Structure 1
Amino acid sequence: LVTVIPYWYHFGDGSTAGTLCLLIFHVLLGLMATSYFQVILTDPGTVPSEWHEAIARSEALKRQYPQCHRSGLHKPPRSHYDPITGRLVLNMDHFCPWTNNTIGFFNRKFFVLFLFYTSLTCGWAAAS
């Protein structure tokens, strides 16, 4: 009702412009919510245990990949240790308190989409 009443007041009952504004707003809101839940539910990219096992079997690979100072595990390229979750994350960007999840390789696309749809939704609400 918070999003519907201002449009009804401004455009009047049954207005095509008001209905179109409401439809666009709710589509954007749905896209924003979908991308938000995908960020929350998608694993950011924890380094697979098979990778660590392969490193443990090969001395050449142990020399090739640096060892993480905090976890003691060998790090793949562009991976970082997340102190909040206590794990190595592939292509880690940051820990986001709004999603309570680390932003990494597998959920970065959904995070960027969430930011994009949030901006569009806020812009549409402010402009209309």
Structure 2
Amino acid sequence: METTIQPQQLALQDIAQVAIRTYLGTRDFTLLHGVTGCHALRVILPYCTDRATALRYFWQGFIIAYLSTGPKTIRPVATEETESIKDISKRQAAIRESALNSDDDHVIKLSYSALEEFHYYGDNKYLQVFS
């Protein structure tokens, strides 16, 4: 826990922001697990007796996963914060359709996690997972 990859302060929301930006900036299959993993950790974290350690181990795993990609260059992600309610609804519907029309468990899980994280954090980047 005392390595240089461990920041002094670490919150799940910060990890989630890094995970979605890293996935969108690389579209790397390995890194989509950071998005789905953050969602899963958010669900189980209230049941962890040592939340700080759980976050740090997750962060460590995420960094190692990123390093295993090469590490790939992370391109900047355009933010689309001015989307209308209609556009947001269309994007959510398209993500649901992706899950419903797929037999790939990664597409289904990424769809579910992206929608859940969008609803929790309100960050439109989650609606870009398939664009």
Q: TM-score, normalised by structure 1?
A: 0.23
Q: TM-score, normalised by structure 2?
A: 0.23
| Structure with bigger gyration radius | 1
Tell me which protein shows more strand as a share of its residues: 1
